[in-house]
Amino acid sequence: MSRFRLIASLAGVVLTASTAVVLGAAPEASAAPAFQMPFPCGQAWSGQTRSNHSPANSVDFNRTGDDGDPVGAAAAGRVSRVADEGSTSYGKWIEVDHGAGWTTRYAHLSQQRVAVGDQVSPGQLIGNVGTTGGSTGPHLHFEERSGGTAVRITFNGSGIVYWGSGTYTSRNTCAANNPNTPQAACGAGYQVIDWAALGTAGAVYLLYKGGNNCVATIKHTSIGTASATSAFLEVEGAARTTDAGSFGYYAGPVSKAAGGKCVKWGGSVGASSYTSPFEHCG
């Protein structure tokens, strides 16, 4: 179950700052993923940096009435930390490993919606804004790290304002607008081991738990409005099982025992579809 393919096109980000923004990636971020704002598409947030912040290169994001707002992954990766510092420091926080020494951190969350080891797609809902830990009010504390050290933050290669405040508009995916996660669809104990983008319409996820596979397709557009959506799972040597219909949030879950077997999986939202080869054998 170790194979993981990142099948997605990462969106850009529009930056509109209240003070001058220095464009272009910082030298230390030249090999970074194309990080996006950790919020759903189209949302505008105020980001504040200050030299006495800990760490100094982090940013605090705010907007009116943001308590409980969805937080999305800044890029694809694997969840490496899900921790709770109680009433101190980060409070409830998440770290995502993006490979090549790059990680992102999301702190002061009210909810954590992923588990260590989960593979996440760009913009996927991972938590909610809160005021846990050493926080005096709801906001998201966000960091980009290289080699374990917080570096100056870039979104799609463009640097944010240091030191001061800027207003930024997210062009991450719309995934976090959907309150449903693949883990919630498949049930307790399932872990995302693979995923595929369905254009901008959604993503289909393969999950695993103790010899069982599960597939769920999560919509990123027309959320809450019934539209054609499907998810399927086929264990090698057995008939394919499909959940297809007009759904508002997701298709599935489709789950099957698959110990010692290869599986083919996929799904669709509207005209966008994905079908895997037989894989994840054993």
Nearest CA to 152 out of 18, 51, 73 is that of 51
Q: Do residues 106 and 212 both lie within one domain? A: no
Give the pLDDT band of residue 110 (cuts 50, 70, 90): very high
**Confidence check: pLDDT of 199 > 60:** yes
Q: For the chain, what is the mean pLDDT? A: 91
In this predicted structure, what is the pLDDT of residue 31?
Answer: 74
Residue-wise pLDDT tens digits, 42-58:
999 999 999 999 999 99
Q: Do residues 134 and 270 both lie within one domain? A: no
In this predicted structure, what is the pLDDT of residue 32?
Answer: 87
Give the pLDDT band of residue 39 (cuts 50, 70, 90): very high
Q: Do residues 33 and 137 both lie within one domain? A: yes
Tell me, yes or no, whether 270 lies in a domain.
yes
Per the structure block, which two tokens stand in for 15?
């930056």
Tell me, yes or no, whether 2 lies in a domain.
no
User: pLDDT: is 196 or 11 the higher one?
Assistant: 196
Residue-wise pLDDT tens digits, 178-195:
999 999 999 999 999 999
**Confidence check: pLDDT of 20 > 70:** no
**Confidence check: pLDDT of 100 > 70:** yes
Q: Do residues 132 and 271 both lie within one domain? A: no
In this predicted structure, what is the pLDDT of residue 184?
Answer: 96
CB contact set of 209 (below 8 Å; sequence gap of 6+): 186, 187, 189, 190, 191
Nearest CA to 239 out of 263, 215, 259, 260 is that of 263
Q: Whole domain around residue 28: which residue ranges? A: 14-175
In this predicted structure, what is the pLDDT of residue 115?
Answer: 96
Residue-wise pLDDT tens digits, 214-263:
999 999 999 999 999 999 999 999 999 999 999 999 999 999 999 899 99
In this predicted structure, what is the pLDDT of residue 255?
Answer: 98
Residue-wise pLDDT tens digits, 51-77:
999 999 999 999 999 999 999 999 999
Give the total number of structural domains in the chain: 2
Nearest CA to 261 out of 234, 235, 233 is that of 235
**Confidence check: pLDDT of 279 > 60:** yes
User: Dihedrals φ, ψ of 29, to 5°?
Assistant: -105, 10
In this predicted structure, what is the pLDDT of residue 268?
Answer: 98
Taking residues 127-150, report their average pLDDT. 97
Q: Are 217 and 223 in contact (CB under 8 A)?
A: no
* CATH number of the domain residue 229 falls in: 2.60.40
Q: Do residues 111 and 158 both lie within one domain? A: yes
What is the CA 71 to chain-centroid distance, rounded? 8
Q: Which of 155, 175, 195 corresponds to the end of one domain?
A: 175
